[in-house]
Amino acid sequence: MNVLFHAGNSLLVFLFVERLLAASPRESASTGRPARAHVPALAAGLLFALHPIHTEAVAWVSGLPEVGFTFFVLLLLTRDLPSPRGGSAAAAMAALCFLAALLFKETAIALLPLTVALDLLRSRPGPVPRPFARYGPLAAALAAYAAMRFAAMGGLGKMPRLAPYGGMDAAAYAANDLRFFALYLGKLLVPLPLNAVHDFTPLRSLGEGAALVGIGLAILAVVSVFGTARRAPLVCFALLLVLVPLLPVALVPAFSPTPFGERYLYLPSVGLSLAVALLAERVEARWRRFAAPAAAAFGLLLASSLLATVARNRVWKDDLSLFSDAVARSPRSEIANRSLGRALMEADRDEEAVGRFRAALEANPDSPRSRFHLARALLKLGRASEAVAEVERVMETSPGLDAMGVLAEAYGDAGRLDDAIALRRQIVALKPESAADRNLLGIDLGRAEHFGAAAEQFELAATLEPSEPAFRRNLDRARKEAGR
């Protein structure tokens, strides 16, 4: 699905840029005729299609919201060229597309300022719809989305601030936002090295070097937008296409343990593609003596982008390959080490997984998730006593049904059957309709030679889930043992 959306988005970038340039024609200095729009548009579409920064959004299933909402945003922007369409059918189409984009991801709200900017900046051949007819359908779609979100979540949704960015003051948040703003711009222009898990030490003040670089780039961006609005409106819009979708990303450091994601550059890269198209148009129309070397340079850029994308796709082929690469690039990242540990467990390389989970705990000793998975790996290796110690620490800070289940299993494997049975009974009390948990309680009761009680649990499990033959076999075995 992601690949299909990306193919559609690449085509839409070509169509959008071609229509945008055709609606604002420039004359060629050599011929006096309007410059062709399809050549620069083709350059934009190819660059968008092959840009290595898109690998995460296209190769990862979790990138579907990015490629999905971008498709509908581009569809709406493209259909309004060369001039916005009026009528009830066009209004319904606009509302449905915007609603679909919002349902994919809230970042699609960037369409509103982008639409206003496009209307203000470009030339307008033909009649212009009244503001209500133009923006009313988009407002209606936004209202419908807000209503659905309130109904589903009881509000806009609360996001807890997570470590290591939780608890900062406003200046520290601003410092990190500016640092990531600079990093996003840099990664868009030079997408190397790419990494699934970027690891950062939080900034604490606006006086740190990375924050100062971000401040400088932010000032430059604002000055560039206002400076090009009249003299080069399409350049201004290309800048806005990069900057506006990045604004919601400024919230990420406060609410995510992974504050930097390459997939967030998917829509902003449309702005870069438009900027390249504008440069190609200028070369074709005004600087034709540079056309041949410019074409050669662009061909080299596309070839290197293709090679980088193919190489990066190989990294994304499976979790083991992906997180091995992430650990190589971010060896002190808790998330990278924990994710690699889980991939190693899936491959039955449990001893190596233990090492990765311990590395994750070195990076963050207070992580209950890394400690929980360490306990699971130790259990698979038959080191039940060590597993008990680890998961008991998890229960001290983050008690939950998953941790209770692993601890009960560890107790049983360590020979502490009374503790295992007591914990299993607590789980069953919390999940009385769970056939699987009743079956596990019955197994531990049977191991403790309480065959009558075990038979009761197996019978309840078989009643709750009669299609599972293992529960019936366990029941027959327990009844047979109880009858001896």
What residue ranges do the domains of the chain occupy? 2-315, 318-415, 417-484
- Would you tell me how many other CB atoms lie within 10 Å of the CB of residue 482? 15
Residue 393 structure tokens: 């620490």
Q: Taking each helix axis as running N to C, give the angle between helix 401-413 and helix 368-380, from 0 to 180 degrees, rounded to the nearest 10.
A: 30
Q: Is the pTM of this model over 0.85?
A: yes
Tell me if residue 275 falls in helix, strand or coil.
helix
Give the gyration radius of the chain's Cα atoms: 29
**Residue at 55: amino acid letter:** T
Please list the pLDDT of the chain residue by residue as tens digits (484 residues).
999 999 999 999 999 999 998 877 554 444 444 456 888 999 999 999 999 999 999 999 999 999 999 999 999 999 877 666 666 787 888 899 999 999 999 889 999 999 989 888 875 555 555 777 778 889 999 999 999 988 887 765 555 555 556 667 788 888 988 999 999 999 999 998 999 998 888 888 999 999 999 999 999 999 999 999 988 999 999 999 999 999 887 666 555 667 789 999 999 999 999 999 999 888 877 777 777 888 899 999 999 999 999 999 999 999 999 999 999 999 999 999 999 999 999 999 999 999 999 999 999 999 999 999 999 999 999 999 999 999 999 999 999 999 999 999 999 999 999 999 999 999 999 999 999 999 999 999 999 999 999 999 999 999 999 999 999 999 999 998 887 5
Query: Is the CB of residue 138 less than 8 Å from the CB of residue 98?
Result: yes
CATH of 318-415, one of 1.20.1250.20, 2.40.110.10, 1.25.40.10, 3.40.1280.10: 1.25.40.10
Residue 327 structure tokens: 């650990």
User: What element of type H or E holds 220?
Assistant: helix 209-228
CATH superfamily, region 417-484: Tetratricopeptide repeat domain (1.25.40.10)
Residue 376 structure tokens: 């699971």
CA dihedral 362, 180, 162, 357 (to 10 degrees): -20
Query: Is the CB of residue 42 less than 8 Å from the CB of residue 10?
Result: no
Nearest residue to 187 (alpha-carbon basis) of 52, 45, 88, 304: 52
